[in-house]
Homo-oligomer: A and B are copies of this chain.
Amino acid sequence: MGLRERKKQRTRDALIDAALDLFLSQGYEATTIDQIAAEVEVSPRTFFRYFASKEDVALSLTADEQEMFLAELVARPLSEPPFAALSQSMRAMLGILREIDGAEAGRIMKAQRLVHSTPSLLAGAMRLIRENERRLVAEVARRMGTAPDDLQSQLVVSVFVSIGLLCMNGPTEDLNGLARRYEDLLTLAERSLRPGWDLPVGSAEPEPEPEPASASASAAS
């Protein structure tokens, strides 16, 4: 990789770091682009060459996580029922996040705290998730062998996304707490949904229901 690329990456990271720090210390709306740019010793105009908006820099890590999640999903074996594939992808992503360390881990946790404590950013994060919902539906429909505008695949994704959003609504700011809350919600969802609800209607093989006794056995991971 050339010097130019590395320099750009460093500027980008510096902008994210400066932005997160300022947002956390002064508040999101109280911080101006000029302050962020000054901190990195870059012109305000340059900021907008790296990020489309003030919100964009705050949510860039959230967007990255979305991409990670989608990548996990497409890598899941097709034999897995749709909802299980979604759940497992989420578990896998949380696992990866837990293993990250160094500067990137600090950024992620800062972003987590920031988004969670700023209403407009929380709304923005939900908007991001909603925007990705279309791609999730496409992938789920592919797995179910249905059209992308099929209501059932949309419902499956929608229920899954709802659970994810409920996780974010919770008071937790800790990654482990998030994972625990997520497993609680999955258990509740399992109790609420009919077995095989996420399989095509004519499907011969109904999704096998796990024994309820060991439902949350793998929660601690």
Contacts and interface: CB of A to CB of B under 8 A. Distances in A.
A185 B198 CA distance: 14
Interface string A115-126: 000000001001
A194 B195 CA distance: 9
A191 B189 CA distance: 15
A154 B163 CA distance: 10
A159 interface: yes
Number of copies: 2
A218 interface: no
Interface residues of A, number: 26
A155 interface: yes
A191 B158 CA distance: 15
A151 interface: yes
Nearest to A137: B169
